[in-house]
Amino acid sequence: MKLHGYFRSSASYRVRIALNLKGLTAEHLAHHLRKGQQRAPAYLALNPQGLVPTLQDADAILTQSLAIIEWLDETYPEPPLLPQDRMRRAKVRAFALAIACDVHPVQNLKVLARLRQLGIAEEQVTEWAAWVNREGLAACETLIAGEAGPFCFGAAPTLADLCLVPQLANARRFGVDLQAFPRLLQAETAAKALQAFADAAPERQPDAE
C-alpha cells in the first residue's frame, strides 16, 4: 500500500491512525500542501480533487479519508472501528461526519488561503478558524456527553476518535481553549495513550517540519 499525504493534514492523520490500529504498513508519499505539490499533474491523475490523502493498494485508488477508513475496516476487520449495533454505528458516523464534513473543511488550508486572497486580515482569518472549531467541538462535546468512556463511544477507539484527535490538534493551532470540552479531552487522552495514535502524530512523520 501507498499513502499519499502530508504530515499536518488532519485527513491524512486519520488514515495513518487507522493503518496503525490495523497493524498495516504503507509507504508514505508526502505532498507539501503549502507548496502546491498536490496540484501536480501526476498527482491529479490519482486524485482529481488535488487533496490528500489518497490510498493506493495494488490497482485500487481510494480517496476521501472516511471512505478509505471504512474500506480498511471492511477489508481488515480487526480491530473494528465501527460498532456492530446499527444504532451505535450511526451515532459514531454522525460524530465523525460532524468533524469531517462540517468543521474541518471550512477551516482548512484551502479555505483560509481564499479568505486571505479576498483581503481579509490575518487576525480575522485565524479567528474564523478558531470560531469554526469552537462551534463544532461544542456540538461534539454534547454528542458524547452521556457516553461511557474513556474513548468517544466506550472502551475502544472508533472512527469517532480517529476524527477527534486530529481536529483537536487543529483547534490548538488556532488558539482554541479546549478546557470547555472535558469529555472530548478525556477521549483524546485515552487515544493518545495508544501507540497507534502516537505513531501517527504529525511531528513523528518523515516530512514533519
Mean pLDDT split into 10-residue runs, the chain, 209 residues: 97 98 98 96 97 96 98 98 98 98 96 97 98 98 97 98 98 97 98 98 97
DSSP string, 114-157: HHHHTT--HHHHHHHHHHHHHHHHHHHHHHTTTS-SSBTTBSS-
**One domain for residues 55 and 152:** no
Cell numbers describing residue 111: 479555505
**SS3 for 4?**
strand
Considering the entire predicted model, what is its pTM? 0.96
**One domain for residues 112 and 15:** no
The whole domain housing 47 covers 2-79
**One domain for residues 102 and 74:** no
The per-residue pLDDT for 2 is 98
Does residue 202 belong to any structural domain of this protein?
A: no
DSSP string, 29-86: EE--GGGTGGGSHHHHTT-TT--S-EEEETTEEEESHHHHHHHHHHHS-SS-SS-SSH
* CATH code, 37: 3.40.30.10
Choosing from 79, 96, 125, the residue where a domain stops is: 79
**One domain for residues 41 and 113:** no
Write the Ramachandran bin of 36: left for phi over 0, alpha for psi from -120 to 50, otherwise beta: left
Q: Is the Cα dihedral 206, 170, 92, 62 positive or negative?
A: negative
**One domain for residues 93 and 180:** yes
For residue 151, give every residue at least 6 positions away whose Cβ sits within 8 Å of its Cβ, in sequence order, or none.
157, 158, 160, 161, 187, 190, 191
Choosing from 22, 53, 79, the residue where a domain stops is: 79
How many domains, the chain? 2
* CATH code, 157: 1.20.1050.10
Q: Are 141 and 183 in contact (CB under 8 A)?
A: yes
Does residue 209 belong to any structural domain of this protein?
A: no
**One domain for residues 92 and 163:** yes
**One domain for residues 120 and 49:** no
Edge-to-edge strand list for the sheet holding 60-63: 27-30, 2-5, 54-57, 60-63
Does residue 140 belong to any structural domain of this protein?
A: yes
**One domain for residues 108 and 183:** yes
Does residue 69 belong to any structural domain of this protein?
A: yes
Choosing from 30, 61, 79, the residue where a domain stops is: 79
